[in-house]
Amino acid sequence: MGVEDECCVTSELVCESETTVGKADGLVKSTFSFEFPRGFDENHVLRLKEGPQRGIDEDGDPIIDRKHPQTFTLKIEHRTTTTLSLVGEQVWRGALLLCDYILANPKEFSGKNVLEMGAGTGISSVVASFLSANVICTDVNRGEILDLCRENLKRNELFTKPGCHVEVCPLDWMDIASWRDNEAFKSCDVIIAADGKFVSIWVYSS
């Protein structure tokens, strides 16, 4: 048995979160709040805000609060503890820093084709979809990592920019054959990645 199968690790965010709800199968759902980015489609923001109706006016029309929201909340499903080989099933600080970077630099992502490597739970790809033309969310096909990516992207699809295409694909950094001939990867303008264990961020622009 290898070290990756023996050692279990827990993200430091678990100890800090007050908005985590557990499930019997070991998965939990946490909420993460961010500010809307500058340049975010004003009409899209208003559509998000229009969600719940505030009642009916005297003409029989729904009352809608159109005040521009300053923040938004994502709901992300993840695990709190995993073996080293499945750390992608957790949310790490590096992923949140990458989200902040995207939101603080909207011009670098607006209308671009974005590839995220080592996406884990997919939270950074969710945020990238607010601004980008296309997002390819990738990680190793191991455990439930890719399933969590798909579910979290679907759970938060309300925030995806209209017209943005989001795709989840397996990608093993160490297996050249898994990405060398993929035309979708070659068309990317921006490549993003966050190393959760060392809280490092790389952003590549072609």
pTM as predicted: 0.80
CB 79 within 8 A of CB 136: no
**pLDDT for 126:** 97
Nearest residue to 118 via CA among 102, 148, 94, 140: 140
**pLDDT for 141:** 94
Secondary structure, 3-state, the chain: CCHHHHCEEECHHHHHCCCEEECCCCEEEEEEEEECCCCCCHHHHHHHHCCCCCCECCCCCECCCCCCCCEEEEEEEEECEEEHHHHHHCCCHHHHHHHHHHHHCHHHCCCCEEEEECCCCCHHHHHHCCCCCEEEEEECCCCCHHHHHHHHHHHCHHHCCCCCEEEEEECCCCCHHHCCCCHHHHCCCEEEEEECCCCEEEEEEC
Owning domain of residue 187: 3-205
Query: What CATH number does residue 38 fall under?
Result: 3.40.50
**pLDDT for 199:** 46
Number of domains in the chain: 1
The span from the CA of 184 to the CA of 108, in Å, is: 19
CA distances from 118 to 19, 173, 185 (A): 25, 9, 14
Per-residue pLDDT tens digits of the chain, which is 206 residues long: 454 556 888 887 765 554 555 554 579 999 999 987 665 665 665 555 555 445 556 666 555 555 555 788 999 999 999 998 899 999 999 999 999 999 988 889 999 999 999 999 999 999 999 999 999 999 999 999 999 999 999 999 988 999 999 999 999 878 877 777 777 787 889 999 988 655 456 666 65
